[in-house]
Amino acid sequence: MKKTAILIGAGQRGIVYANFALSHPEEFEIVGIAESDATRRDQAREKFKLAPEVCLNTWEDVFTREKWADAVMICTQDTMHYEPVMAAIRQGYDILLEKPISPSERECMEIAEAAEEAGVKVMVCHVLRFTPLFSQVRRLIEDGAIGDVVTFVHNENVGDTHHAHSFTRGHWRNTRESSPMILAKACHDLDIMQWLVGKKCLALQSFGSLKFFNEQNKPAEAPPRCTDGCTADCPYDARKLYLHSQNGWFRSVAAGYQNPADADVLRALENGPYGRCVFQCDNDVVDHQTVNMLFEDGITAVFSMSSFTPEISRSFKIMGTKGQIKAHTHEKTILLTDFTTREEREIPVEAIEGGHDGGDIGIMKSFCAYLRGEISGSQVSEVRISAENHRLCFKAEESRVNGGKLITL
């Protein structure tokens, strides 16, 4: 049976998820939107062929009516999740919730508890779980291909231009306004590590800092904006990254809507946050961080996040008593080493088009199956599980700001 949903927040991530309704109309339909930005609201209304009366200005407008869809998709900014989620729970909506659940540990737990009390399904957008790569790795571990997991080393390669865009100039640059980097970006990774290990984390410690994207590294001749005639030879010159670039994502985010004209991009750079010098922004989130973790059964894990990489990717190695798994998200194979035979076998990974290596499509298929009652538990990223894994992020940040203090969970 087709499921219906109201999209709350028609920004980049919201539209990515909602597009599933266009490619799979037999499964899913967008019946309303709530978006405060008039341009984005109009674009979404046209895209999903909606009547003006179901295209609302605010999330509050959604809940002034009796329940009028199966689910809501909450894709607002990090600090704007709690109130619409709680309103949706009170009216009995099932929910697809963009990560992180909330920048507040207390709010994360309150949402999980409220959902359980109301019997509402809340799925958090940990898209990595729904990629062919990580799904296959989990099956290999469950099938005993490497015996018992002993050590897990996982790298998140943020990408230098991605960091300049999202975490220096963009929405997630400042901890007070959004979330610390370990939650905003790496809650995906700590979630996937716990999911693959399948054990509870007992203790952790973390180190990291904002090393490069700060005032100390500003070229002497750099003005506050790249468009103010900056002559520095800088890889993060906004004119290169946005105006003279084919990166549609960067351009649309800078302008605030899809497929902007060059003149609109330039105007946004001259007046908006994306034209600022990356060494003169109000950013405070780290550009590199590590987390050392001890799981049950003596399993050790190291997570490393660095923005100083040319690509946006993940790479990891999982070492077990009988073998090793090694993989990289840009490569479509898993390398499995068997200690008994000493053979290294390449296992192909299904290639799926779409963002996050197929995870954006995968999570929407799973969300529909979740709404239909076909899957549950570890097959989906339910809010209680996600909230518990968010705790690793909160505690890692607590450790980092306290000089790497060892924290027992």
Degrees (nearest 5) of the Cα angle 57, 61, 64? 170
pLDDT at 352 over 90: no
DSSP string, 163-231: IIIIIIISTTS-TTTS--HHHHTTHHHHHHHHHHH-S-EEEEEEEEE--SSSGGG--TT--SBGGGT--
Superfamily (CATH H level) for 128-213+283-408: Dihydrodipicolinate Reductase; domain 2 (3.30.360.10)
Q: From the centroid of its chain, how far is CA 121?
A: 20
Q: Which of 46, 305, 303, 282 is nearest to 168 (CA)?
A: 282
At residue 351 the predicted structure's pLDDT band, cuts being 50, 70 and 90, is confident
Partners of 10 in the β-ladder: none
pLDDT for residue 21: 96
At position 181, the amino acid (one-letter code) is: M
Place of tokens 């468009």: 227
3-124 CATH fold:
Rossmann fold (3.40.50)
Structure tokens belonging to residue 64: 């002034």
The mean per-residue pLDDT over the stretch 363-377 comes to 92
Query: For the segment 18-40, what is each residue's pLDDT rounded down to a tens digit?
Result: 999 999 999 999 999 999 999 99
Percent of the chain predicted with pLDDT > 70: 100
CATH 3.40.50.720 domain position(s) in the chain: 3-124
Q: For residue 258, what are its two tokens?
A: 């899809």
Instruction: Report the pLDDT value the prediction gives residue 61, as an integer from 0 to 100.
Output: 97
Partner residues linked to 59 by β-bridges: none
- The count of other CB atoms within 10 Å of the CB of residue 366 is 20
Task: Write phi, then psi, for 105 (nearest 5 degrees).
Answer: -60, -40
Cα–Cα distance measured from residue 281 to residue 170, given in angstroms and rounded to the nearest whole number: 10
Tell how many helices (H) and how many strands (E) occur in the chain: 15, 15
The model carries a pTM of 0.92
The answer to whether the CB of 63 falls within 8 A of the CB of 91 is yes
Per-residue pLDDT tens over the stretch 97-120: 999 999 999 999 999 999 999 999
